[in-house]
A and B are shown apart, each in its own frame.
Chain A
């Protein structure tokens, strides 16, 4: 069952990634990127990395993509299509570099599957939480890293006071 969902999510991620490049309008591209980020986030969830799942959704899908959409709608750039690009030299260069990247990624993947180092994500101590889970993150945040965590709130407070003072009408 898990395998099936993984494959479906993977296909969705690859498909939406292609969509980002191939869509004719920038807004559609941005929306495809959103789709891509959500499927990636779910892949992280399937790998039991719950915190990265939440961070991916909140930071990338929630904040950065909204910023992209703002910029796209504000600037409204003319639609460019990858297959209709006139500059031949640039096109050839892009294709070559893309192929090189593809070969490197595929090679790495094959190496990992066939004979690479194997990873063990299981908890090494009884009672310890596996790396990347919400429990491990929360426990670290409120025990070992309590002091920096609390100090971060002061950083935000200072930024808040500062922005009020600097932004106040004279």
Chain B
């Protein structure tokens, strides 16, 4: 006993690191965690026939988490509270990202069941691992520390590697999963190396502290330490892999094409948005002093990403692969928004302009969730009915399923950025932010790319409305109904139209979401 007392007296100097308040501020994350664990357990108890109910449990968890996040917002709309020794930050940026990820989770659940049952994919584990992935992304969105960024990214990535390989009767699924896994862990190694360099140069893993250290080093010596620039480059490469930016995109087409289609839909939006959240948290909060360097790198990568994604997408006959390249292209558009953070005419810290840049990234990510999952959703509908995923399989869709064709057309118009859809406003905000930052060249390249992208999106629309359905495809037709898929598509179409006609509330929320970042930046520079 005296031995134990001796140990306890030694441990005395360190105090408990969290309080009850900390738990309240991570309530949405906690709900998702409980849901994920419950899904595994309930899956074991339930008899096989009633496992369809698991989808309701997962939905309940996500909606509950959304409600909790909303409650925390309405309780205090200007909240900015660090918890768990600075690991997790509860502010409006966290909130907006939580909304993106939870909606991704909800839509991801809704589009899964029919497709997965047909291919004997275990639903309980699918929902559970997907919920863990959403949890990891939410941690990334609210991270205030490199350690939280890393663990959150790993949690979401490892879950998605597993999900990619879930269709075990399909060779492509295993191949895609292995490629994604191998390249993903390499990216992780580069990322963590960059974090180690950052820690070595600044002596902290806390993003705010890193920002302060770099600012003070910068003010004392005019020559910036090249070590921190190296760390920044490594971090950019690591995040580049996660958001599938060219030239770090090579895993994308195979992983998207190999994965079960609902998973492709999920991983084309969720982990991408999480990658952008991590990029913005680390670069804007941790390295604002170096913003002249990282914005120019991101601008150049954005040009490459947009151009390669759109040009290669033209040549694709598989719609799934085309959507994979289109998702690369959309990474490029979002990167334009990040690059607009710095005014290329010279240093200014106009907060309104910077806010435009970050909020355009946020709102584009949100709109992208709806339109991309929508396009994948119709693809799932088509695969449920007749199996194929080529452009030719869309021939005559407007004849035998006019509503599905209309929904697909809406999603594709939105992806191409044609008004009055949400996609138009997404592009509008991103390009407006770039023009305000005197990045006219980047905007022109982006607009040209949008014009190119219209070509391959409209190709599918033409196939749906003007080409006759082949006899072979008619014979394969097996009518399948799915309540969940229909519900998802209705939600998506309404959201695309609402965001296209009346984007103000969402934009206001995105601007609120970007605000707390600049308070951190100001504090790091020593301004009130």
Residues on A close to B: CB < 8 A?
Answer: 127-128, 135, 139, 142-148, 151-152, 154-155, 157-159, 161-162, 165-166, 170
Contacts and interface: CB of A to CB of B under 8 A. Distances in A.
Given A142-B17, A143-B14, A154 B135 contact: yes
Given A161-B128, A165-B122, A165-B162, 14 more contacts: A143-B14, A143-B16, A143-B17, A145-B85, A145-B147, A146-B87, A147-B84, A148-B145, A151-B155, A155-B155, A158-B129, A158-B159, A161-B40, A166-B168
Contacts of B148: 147-148, 151
Nearest to A163: B162
B96 interface: no
26 contacts: A142-B14, A142-B17, A143-B14, A143-B17, A144-B17, A144-B85, A144-B86, A144-B87, A145-B85, A145-B87, A146-B85, A147-B85, A148-B150, A148-B151, A151-B139, A151-B152, A151-B155, A155-B155, A157-B132, A161-B162, A162-B161, A162-B162, A165-B122, A165-B162, A166-B165, A170-B168
Nearest to B86: A144
B75 to A, nearest CB: 22
B175 interface: no
Nearest to B126: A165
Contacts of A143: 14-17, 85
B480 interface: no
B125 interface: yes
Contacts of B14: 139, 142-143
Contacts of A144: 17, 85-87
Contacts of A158: 129, 132, 155, 158-159, 162
B147 A148 contact: yes
A152 B162 contact: no
B-side binding surface: helix, strand, loop or mixed?
A: helix
Interface string B10-49: 1101111110000000000000010000001000000000
Contacts, number: 83
A94 to B, nearest CB: 28
B33 A147 contact: no
B87 A165 contact: no
A144 B206 CA distance: 10
Given A135-B10, A144-B17, A161-B128, A155 B154 contact: yes
Contact of B13 (A127, A154, A155): A127
B162 A155 contact: no
B115 interface: no
A130 to B, nearest CB: 13
Contact of A147 (B15, B88, B132, B159): B88
Nearest to B88: A147
Interface string B155-186: 10011011001101100000000000000000
Contacts of B154: 155
Contacts of A148: 87, 145, 147-148, 150-151
Contacts of B155: 151, 154-155, 158
Contacts of B15: 143
A147 B87 contact: yes
Contacts of B147: 145, 148
Contact of A154 (B33, B86, B87, B162): B33
Contacts of A142: 14, 17
A152 B165 CA distance: 22
B125 A161 contact: yes
B162 A166 contact: yes
A147 B23 CA distance: 11
B173 to A, nearest CB: 10
- Among B14, B85, B125, B136, max chain A CB count under 10 A is at B14
Contacts of A152: 151
A7 B168 CA distance: 57
Nearest to B139: A151
B90 to A, nearest CB: 13
